[in-house]
Amino acid sequence: MASEAEDGQAISGVWYAPQTSRAMTATLRLEDGGRLTARDEAGAVLASCELPAAAFSDRVGSIPRRIAFADESAFETDDNDSVDRLMQPLAKRGSGLVHSLERFHPRLAVFVVLVALLAAAIYRFAVPVLVEVAVLVTPPVVPELLSSSTMTTLDNTVFEPSKLDAETQKDIAEGFDKLAAASAGGADGYSLNFRKGGHIGPNAFALPDGTIVLTDELVEMANDNETILGVLAHEIGHVDHDHSLRQVYRAAGVTGLILLIGGDVGAGVEDILIQGSALLQLRHSRSAEAEADRFSIELMHRTGHDPLAISRFLELIRDKLGDTSESDFLSTHPATPSRIEETKRYAEELMATMPD
Ligand SMILES: [Zn+2]
């Protein structure tokens, strides 16, 4: 009895000599208290090694099992159940396949958590990074196309030619040219366009190629060139920081950005390029507004203008249009108390540290 338990039952199958496909009918059995041995029909030993030295293929349905000996010969059988029984001592020893799978479970849980964290990190960090990459690789034709299509759409739908008198236009344009000359894009990097705003009302906005639009309604509301220049300096800030382009790219999402960077313009971006007015529906983030405000304060100060002009303008829209106005300008440029306070604080700090 003892010897039968130790030797186990013979498993029928086929044996392959090392590095050949020559097959030979054989039996496999655990002998001598632990040696895995294959014998031919006459009982001669074909291969033998310690059980842990043999390599067992995984059990996959009814596919025949392959057991490789240390000498690289192999035994194949479709008697999967007997092979599993043969492998039991390995599982008990703690080095078998079954045991290693059990041990893997805690690691699997950690892996799943890591994948979830990675996915969250992609949404948190990859989009801003991809947006920056897209801005860097954007050829000049993209902002030009975006801007010209937006202007065409607006001119065909809401805008009318400006009714401002020539002198007012000339005064504002001269001040604007000086601001432009002192900015990164230079005198030719920006163009000021006067328009009657229609239902858009008092507004000023910048398109990504440096096209800046100023409505008659805003000029009339401000009624002060210095205040208007503060607003135009703010718009130059949006251009210099590529705020509109970033908004378009953020709207394109991860997939759109990857396609875009790869040179394949996605459907979403294509829509925006064709229907330029979509650009106007994109709102600048709070941080982009704050950045453009600081830009205005610095540029106005640098060119000998009043750095508090933008604060005055924000107070003006708060007073004239109220916080709940449906003005397009207010929805894209909210004159919140904290924003007014912050622009004043920054302008005064700048004037104190860098007097004219
Ligand atoms: Zn703005």
CA 23, 29, 34, 35 dihedral sign is negative
Please tell me the distance between residue 62's alpha carbon and the centre of ligand 1 in angstroms.
69
Rounded to the nearest 10°, the torsion over CA 33, 35, 41, 44 is -100
pLDDT digits (tens, 9 = 90+) for 231-287: 999 999 999 998 888 887 777 766 667 766 666 555 555 555 555 555 666 677 788
Please tell me the distance between residue 21's alpha carbon and the centre of ligand 1 in angstroms.
76
In this structure, the number of other CB atoms found within 10 A of the CB of residue 184 comes to 11
Please tell me the distance between residue 290's alpha carbon and the centre of ligand 1 in angstroms.
8
| Cα distances (angstroms) measured from residue 25 to each of 19, 35, 244 | 17, 20, 76
What share of the chain in percent tops pLDDT 90?
A: 39
Flag whether pLDDT at 1 surpasses 60: no
State CA 219 to chain mean position distance: 39
Please tell me the distance from the alpha carbon of residue 182 to that of residue 303, in angstroms, as a whole number: 7
Please tell me the distance between residue 116's alpha carbon and the centre of ligand 1 in angstroms.
36
Worst-scoring range by mean pLDDT, 94-103, 126-135, 230-239? 94-103
- What is the SS3 assignment for 94? coil
Please tell me the distance between residue 189's alpha carbon and the centre of ligand 1 in angstroms.
18
Buried b / exposed e across 278-311, counting CB within 10 Å, b at 16+? bbbeeebeeebbbbbbbbbbbbbbbbebbbbbbb
Please tell me the distance between residue 240's alpha carbon and the centre of ligand 1 in angstroms.
12
The DSSP bridge pattern shows strands 160-161 and 191-196 to be: antiparallel
Please tell me the distance from the alpha carbon of residue 76 to that of residue 7, in angstroms, as a whole number: 19
Please tell me the distance between residue 55's alpha carbon and the centre of ligand 1 in angstroms.
69
For the beta sheet containing 74-77, the strands, ordered from the edge strand earlier in sequence to the opposite edge, are: 45-50, 35-40, 23-31, 11-16, 74-77, 65-68, 55-56
Please tell me the distance from the alpha carbon of residue 80 to that of residue 100, in angstroms, as a whole number: 19
Rg over CA atoms, the chain: 38
Flag whether pLDDT at 216 surpasses 90: yes
